[in-house]
Structure 1
Amino acid sequence: MPVLDSQDDSNQHAVTQNTQALSSAPELRVAVFSGNYNYVRDGANLTLNRLVAYLERQGIPVRVYSPTTATPAFEPAGTLISVPSIPLPRRAEYRIALGMPRAVKEDLARFRPTLLHLSAPDLLGFSALKQARRLGIPAVASFHTRFETYLKYYGLEWLSPVVLRRMRRFYHQCAQTYAPCACTAESLLNEGLARNIRIWSRGVDRRQFHPGRRDWGWRQSLGIGPDEVVLLFVGRLVLEKGLDVLAALSEGLGQRRVPHKVMIVGEGPERQYMEQRLPGAIFTGFLGGDDLARAYASSDIFINPSTTEAFGNVTLEAMASGLPAICADATGSKSLVVQGTSGYLITPSSIEGYTDRTQELIQDGILRRHMGAAGRKLSAQYDWDKVMETLVGHYREVLSLHATGGARTATAHSASVRILR
């Protein structure tokens, strides 16, 4: 595998020595801290739930601490301990954890973790870092969301320096930071947000997300003609997903008199805005499981204009379903889409670029099929069990370093991104 910004030889030798000391590391017992584990369904918390389920199958003790609500989006994997929280202003479907009260600290102590896995630089995450120091155990963090990129969508760009400083302070205190793909890892490293970075990729169930799930009868029930080309968007209907770009793309195609149909899968606070911008679009609401797989396979081109993704689970699901992908040339999708082979990466601000490439694929069915087949083939690289096995290997490396007194040295001197899938 390639190495980005390699460590010096002495540091690499130290890592090798510590890896050989795995047998002296303590039992792996993982406490996961999340700002949103199951009260809203999105790629980040679905991934954390999948991780917890995997750890339990491997017989690794795990416990989760997160805000909860009376109306969760799905049943949580593992044992979930609720922490106090309040609704997020202007986005009440999300909640802000208020730190870690004594009862939660006592529960954590009884669980006796040997490693803390933190998923967000929020109050709960910083509180967990303090507990890691108090308990004398290492903490690691996974990077799921480009929080700093959200601010421009809500008129809060002036807060960006503050948020970046906070993120830097958080991730620099962690023994390892897990980025979901190489481009996100490079961005974190170049911006100085994290130092000791490993890749924790994502996977896809290629048996569920499969071109064979295309359903002509379902398309017809939605009023889609047999020759109509369907542009698919999947995600929460929130501004930071690039909804304005999606709307402008469809409007641009309309001005060029290019026939197409837009299908939007998902729910969120901006649904009314999108219904006004795209009155001819199909809004399915939230879909999951086989219904979601059918929606992917029954569409023709996948559109993901988001610039805030750390990975892009929906892009990978679309690829596995045999769709060519037209995505923003930004962290996340650009590690998945091979330009000109499985789709196109577009300069985020270029509506003309989105419109040109989408028109090309609408009008060239052979190219659509070739790109879709290429995406399906590329998706085979992303196997969930292998992804989780790699992460557990990272965990054990941290425990080994900690047991031999090397964790602090490795964190202080490492500026590496090792591409490990």
Structure 2
Amino acid sequence: MQTSTPPLRTARMGARGKIPTPTPARRTTSTSYISGYKNRFQNFIKHLREMGDEVLVVTTHKGAPEEFHGAKVIGSWSFPCPLYQNVPLSLALSPRIFSEVNKFKPDIIHATSPGIMVLGALAISKMISVPMVMSYHTHLPAYIPRYNLNWLLEPTWSFIRCLHRSADLTLVPSVAIAEDFETAKVVPANRIRLWNKGVDSESFHTKYRRHEMRVRLSGGEPEKPLVIHVGRFGREKNLDFLKRVMERLPGARIAFVGDGPYRSELEKMFTGMPAVFTGMLQGEELSQAYASGDVFAMPSESETLGQVVLESMASGVPVVAARAGGIPDIIPKDKEGKTSFLFTPGDLDECVRKIEQLLSSKDLRETIGMAAREEMEKCDWRTASKKIRNEHYSTAISYWRKKMGKTNQTSLFQDSSVAALSN
């Protein structure tokens, strides 16, 4: 196998979020849906394109652009998820989409899981005989208890096992998810790889701190201590915990930046409290919102990674987050209290104590914020993308070759193309 890596053709298919597309063809997420993994794929596709790869993207039809960073985007008819109306779903298995992917001749298909579009990706990968990589981004087993649907837990794990055992390689965003997969016997450990974390440390930076934005976030009281939370508002995010936190922080204010199905309930919950809901912010406004707070509070216990934590730390704002899911991958034990703080899930006293510690000392906030910023400067999207392209895709193709009994040992990426699908 040659050491240099020629351009590759990738197909990606997905159902939520406007996603940039590299040479591989991929199914992405719909443009109207906001999530951490949408951000992850946007950066991944951007860097694949910069490396000279061809990418085809299949996504849900609503708001889909014609191209992203030079990658062709194909919109697939979608419908709202019955349990989560603002999440579009699509099988993406029409003759038109099959024809487009087949004509593209990808070397690999990259699908996001869980969802239903991944089923279409699997079918197409079998029909055109190409390797399949699945990346896992929404930890449904952690969501289920929040919706009082515990009877769905084992069927959900069974569905996840069925999906990922059909893939040649599984990518996960954190060590915690890899461990959950091993415990649940989803796939053997040698077929799991870590998708290294990354953050855009230029777009999220201390330089974006603005007095005007702080006035907006604080409801006109910029001199007051300001807690911020950025994200998608869903019941599974444990945001009601923040009401109990703020009741213990007299004089402090909280700003919620984002949107989601739980927003109206959250606004009712915080009626009469010093809380501001900005709605969705993007671009420089979002950068300013991150950088203009004092502390970022993250109560979710179900994050596969926690992209907003990375973005807050890159903005120089210390985080106080639940020690759960993928968050400890961002704030490991040896960095706790140095780059940000973690608290035991559900421990209100510990959470409040650590937020108070930061709010009461500007010097401590600045010291930890600076250390957090320095740590995030090491988390480069291009490096993470190159690792997937050059190592993980190669591994998947090697596994597939062995499974198919192929012995051709020429470069895996010579004149190659990748197709990816995701919900």
C-alpha distance 375-313 of structure 1, shift in aligned 2 (>3 A): same
Q: Which amino acid aligns with 2:75?
A: S
Q: Which moved more, 1:259-268 or 1:92-101?
A: 92-101
Deviation, structure 1 residue 55: 2.0
Q: CA offsets, 1:280-322, max 9 Å, x none?
A: 2011111111111111111000111112211111100100111
Deviation, structure 1 residue 365: 2.7
Q: How does 1:19-418 map to 2 (within 5 A)?
A: 21-22=1-2, 28-36=8-16, 37=29, 38-69=31-62, 71=63, 76-77=68-69, 78-195=71-188, 196-221=191-216, 222-253=218-249, 258-279=250-271, 280-337=274-331, 338-398=335-395, 401=398, 405=402
SS of equivalent residue, structure 1 residue 110: helix
Structure 1 CA distance for aligned equivalents of residues 130 and 64 of structure 2: 31
Q: Name the structure where helix makes up a greater proportion of residues.
A: 1
Q: CA offsets, 1:89-142, max 9 Å, x none?
A: 132111222351222212211111110001023232123223222322110011
Deviation, structure 1 residue 75: 7.8
Deviation, structure 1 residue 268: 1.8
Structure 1 CA distance for aligned equivalents of residues 43 and 381 of structure 2: 9
Deviation, structure 1 residue 327: 0.6
Q: Is the 8 A contact 2:91 2:119 kept in 1?
A: no
Q: CA offsets, 1:152-209, max 9 Å, x none?
A: 2222221010011110121122121112233332332233223311121232222221
SS of equivalent residue, structure 1 residue 39: coil
Q: CA offsets, 1:377-396, max 9 Å, x none?
A: 11122111111111111354
TM-score by length of 1: 0.84
TM-score by length of 2: 0.84
Q: Which amino acid aligns with 1:217?
A: E
Structure 2 CA distance for aligned equivalents of residues 130 and 223 of structure 1: 52
Deviation, structure 1 residue 60: 1.3
Alpha-carbon RMSD across the aligned residues, in angstroms, is 2.6
Q: Which amino acid aligns with 1:200?
A: W
Q: CA offsets, 1:267-290, max 9 Å, x none?
A: 122222222222320111111111
Q: Is the 8 A contact 1:119 1:141 kept in 2?
A: yes
C-alpha distance 214-75 of structure 1, shift in aligned 2 (>3 A): farther
Q: Is the 8 A contact 2:226 2:254 kept in 1?
A: yes
C-alpha distance 91-75 of structure 1, shift in aligned 2 (>3 A): farther
Q: Name the structure where strand makes up a greater proportion of residues.
A: 2
Structure 2 CA distance for aligned equivalents of residues 161 and 408 of structure 1: 34
C-alpha distance 39-356 of structure 1, shift in aligned 2 (>3 A): same
SS of equivalent residue, structure 1 residue 129: helix
Q: Which moved more, 1:85-94 or 1:322-331?
A: 85-94
Deviation, structure 1 residue 24: 12
Q: CA offsets, 1:318-363, max 9 Å, x none?
A: 0011111111111221111232222221222222222222122222
Q: Is the 8 A contact 1:233 1:264 kept in 2?
A: yes
Structure 1 unaligned spans of 5+: 1-20, 410-421
SS of equivalent residue, structure 1 residue 243: coil
C-alpha distance 176-98 of structure 1, shift in aligned 2 (>3 A): closer
SS of equivalent residue, structure 1 residue 348: coil
Divergent runs of 4+, >6 A: 23-27, 406-409
Q: Which amino acid aligns with 2:187?
A: A
Greater relative contact order, per chain length (Cα 8 Å cut-off, separation 6+) = 2
Give aligned pairs, total. Answer: 384
Deviation, structure 1 residue 400: 5.2
Structure 2 CA distance for aligned equivalents of residues 284 and 95 of structure 1: 24
Structure 2 CA distance for aligned equivalents of residues 243 and 235 of structure 1: 10
Structure 1 CA distance for aligned equivalents of residues 240 and 85 of structure 2: 21
Q: Is the 8 A contact 1:28 1:396 kept in 2?
A: no
Structure 2 CA distance for aligned equivalents of residues 283 and 307 of structure 1: 22
SS of equivalent residue, structure 1 residue 119: strand
Q: Which moved more, 1:127-136 or 1:276-285?
A: 127-136
Structure 2 CA distance for aligned equivalents of residues 74 and 371 of structure 1: 43
C-alpha distance 398-28 of structure 1, shift in aligned 2 (>3 A): farther
Structure 2 unaligned spans of 5+: 17-28, 407-423
Deviation, structure 1 residue 224: 4.5
Q: Is the 8 A contact 1:175 1:408 kept in 2?
A: no
Q: Is the 8 A contact 2:205 2:287 kept in 1?
A: yes
Q: Is the 8 A contact 1:28 1:115 kept in 2?
A: no
SS of equivalent residue, structure 1 residue 398: helix
SS of equivalent residue, structure 1 residue 113: coil
